Amino acid sequence: VKDVFLPWYNAYRFLVQNAKRLEVDGLPPFDPIDHVVVRRSSNVLDQWINSATESLVQFVREEMDGYRLYT
């Protein structure tokens, strides 16, 4: 279990620490759901990451609705 959750926890903690550091530096607060910034990006890699993330979220929601966690 720790082999699965510890890397996720460490990644989350890293994100939160850096988001707090940005706020201390006087920049606007971090908003992970700021779709305007993501959709405005003309970078192809940003668009691909956004598309892959949205596809993953949709898949997980469908599986959780059916409670089919076998894949």
Please report, for the chain, the start and end positions of each structural domain, with discontinuous segments joined by +.
1-30, 32-71
What pTM does this model have? 0.45
pLDDT in single tens digits along all 71 residues of the chain: 778 889 999 999 998 888 788 777 776 766 666 656 666 778 888 888 888 988 998 998 888 888 866 65
pLDDT at position 50? 81
Are the beta carbons of 46 and 38 closer than 8 angstroms?
Answer: yes
pLDDT at position 16? 85
Report which DSSP code applies to 34: -
What are the two backbone dihedrals, phi and then psi, of residue 39, each rounded to the nearest 5 degrees?
Answer: -70, -25
Coil/strand/helix, residue 42: coil
- Give pLDDT tens digits for 27-47: 676 666 665 666 677 888 888
